[in-house]
């Protein structure tokens, strides 16, 4: 069972600036000075430290914190993040994965926008958009070193010129993917380079590019440090959103949580068993082989528990037991074996064992048809 917990954000249907404006009349004089400055100079606020804002508004740091908490934020950084989001042009689309059997017809009918890298595919989208009398918006992805998807930089101008001639296709932006395949980080230099591509295209074709999509979760630290080029205004956040992780440092981002998801698996067997298999050894179902190289005593045993979850649902390297004294042994297609010999808990059949989950583990589990998902 996969459990997800969290708090519901209220009031986000009304923009943050509108809320501040509406509530300013009910504030004390000091807080009202903060409200007035935030409403009139939001772009400056997202670049300022709390000390700087306190000085400009002639208030104390605690006044800034009270102002933040009035609107449901745990701290000043949370306020700045929401403020920055409210200043970005509203993106008229939501994400929905296109599955392999989706036809071009359905993509044009149901998707407001799609990320593209192939002239052939975009031509099909154009032809279908003409048939449906619709305009289909696209973002063109650019290869910038991570070696996943993207048009090569030296081919971008010619590529862009070809797409501009296609009827019923509107190019809404450019983007890049970093850190997902080769681990190339979206440094400030990389995002500046992406911003320069925007300037180059706009100058060459005399057009405006509304969105520059350069940010995944790994770009969050650049935002918090005010090191993001302002042209980069669209972000595709996954791991940082669900796990609060700073991918530069591995630490949890201030004000966020790393325990929103929890995996619970039931014990279906507990038996004292040898640590070393017996018989002729070959590859297991995952293609791995047991190594006898480090075996010094064939008689060693351990108390092993079998859980009702396996490789069909997850990969063991992406989960970690809440009980620090439990060791994950291995997994087969539908069972996970753990060593509970050193645990101080008296486990029995039917007990649930809780696990922390890493990002890739959550992706496996959320896409499994055999895992019950609950929200607490």
pLDDT at residue 88 in the model: 59
Instruction: Give pLDDT < 70 ranges for the chain.
Output: 1-14, 86-102, 294-297
| pLDDT per position as a tens digit, 194-217 | 999 999 999 999 999 999 998 788
List strand residue ranges (DSSP E) for 124-180, in order.
136-142, 169-176
Query: Which H helix or E strand runs over 352?
Result: strand 352-357
The tally of CA atoms less than 13 A away on the side-chain side of residue 178 is 25
Q: Would the CATH topology of 12-87 be identical to that of 104-243? A: no
The pLDDT of residue 267? 97
pLDDT at 81: 79
Domain spans, the chain: 12-87, 104-243, 261-375
Report which secondary-structure segment, H or E, holds 321. strand 319-321
What is the rounded distance in angstroms from the CA atom of residue 171 to the CA atom of residue 158? 14
Q: pLDDT tens digit string along 255-308?
A: 888 889 999 999 999 999 998 888 888 888 778 787 777 666 677 899 999 999
pLDDT of 10 reads 32
How many Å separate Cα 263 from the centre of its chain? 19
Contacts 24+ apart (CB under 8 A), 128-131: 128/104, 129/167, 129/168, 129/169, 130/167, 130/168
12-87 is classed in which CATH architecture?
Orthogonal Bundle (1.10)
Looking at residue 149, its pLDDT comes to: 93
Q: Which CATH number fits domain 104-243: 3.80.10.10, 3.40.80.10, 1.10.760.10, 3.20.20.10?
A: 3.20.20.10
Report the alpha-carbon angle 240-244-248, nearest 5.
65
* 3-class secondary-structure state, position 101: coil
């Amino acid at each position: 069972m996969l459990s997800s917990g969290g708090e519901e954000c209220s009031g986000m249907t009304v923009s943050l600036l509108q809320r501040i404006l509406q509530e300013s009349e009910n504030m004390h004089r000091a807080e009202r000075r903060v409200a007035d400055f935030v409403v009139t100079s939001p772009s400056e606020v997202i670049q300022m430290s709390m000390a700087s804002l306190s000085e400009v508004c002639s208030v104390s740091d605690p006044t800034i914190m009270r102002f933040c908490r009035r609107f449901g934020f745990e701290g000043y950084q949370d306020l700045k993040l929401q403020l920055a989001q409210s200043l970005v042009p509203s993106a008229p689309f939501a994400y929905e994965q296109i599955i392999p059997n989706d036809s071009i017809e359905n993509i044009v009918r149901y998707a407001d926008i799609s990320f593209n890298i192939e002239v052939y595919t975009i031509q099909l989208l154009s032809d279908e958009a003409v048939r449906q009398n619709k305009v289909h918006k696209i973002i063109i992805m650019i290869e910038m070193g991570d070696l996943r998807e993207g048009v090569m930089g030296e081919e971008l101008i010619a590529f862009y010129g070809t797409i501009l001639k296609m009827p019923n296709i509107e190019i809404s932006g450019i983007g890049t993917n970093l850190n997902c395949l080769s681990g190339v980080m979206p440094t400030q230099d990389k995002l500046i380079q992406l911003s320069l591509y925007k300037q180059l295209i706009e100058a060459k074709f005399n057009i405006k590019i509304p969105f520059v999509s350069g940010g995944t979760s790994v770009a969050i630290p650049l935002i918090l440090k005010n090191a993001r080029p302002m042209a980069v205004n669209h972000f595709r956040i996954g791991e940082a959103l669900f796990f609060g992780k700073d991918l530069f440092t591995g630490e949890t981002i201030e004000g966020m949580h790393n325990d929103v998801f929890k995996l619970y698996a039931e014990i279906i067997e507990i038996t004292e068993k040898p640590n070393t298999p017996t018989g002729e050894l070959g590859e297991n179902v995952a293609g791995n082989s047991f190594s006898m190289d480090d075996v010094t005593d064939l008689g060693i045993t351990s108390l092993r528990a079998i859980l009702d979850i396996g490789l069909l649902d997850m990969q063991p390297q992406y989960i970690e037991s809440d009980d620090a004294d439990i060791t994950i042994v291995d997994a087969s297609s539908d069972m996970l074996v753990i060593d509970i010999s050193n645990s101080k808990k008296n486990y029995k059949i039917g007990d649930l064992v809780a696990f922390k989950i890493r990002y890739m583990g959550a992706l496996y589990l959320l896409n499994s048809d055999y895992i019950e998902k609950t929200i607490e």
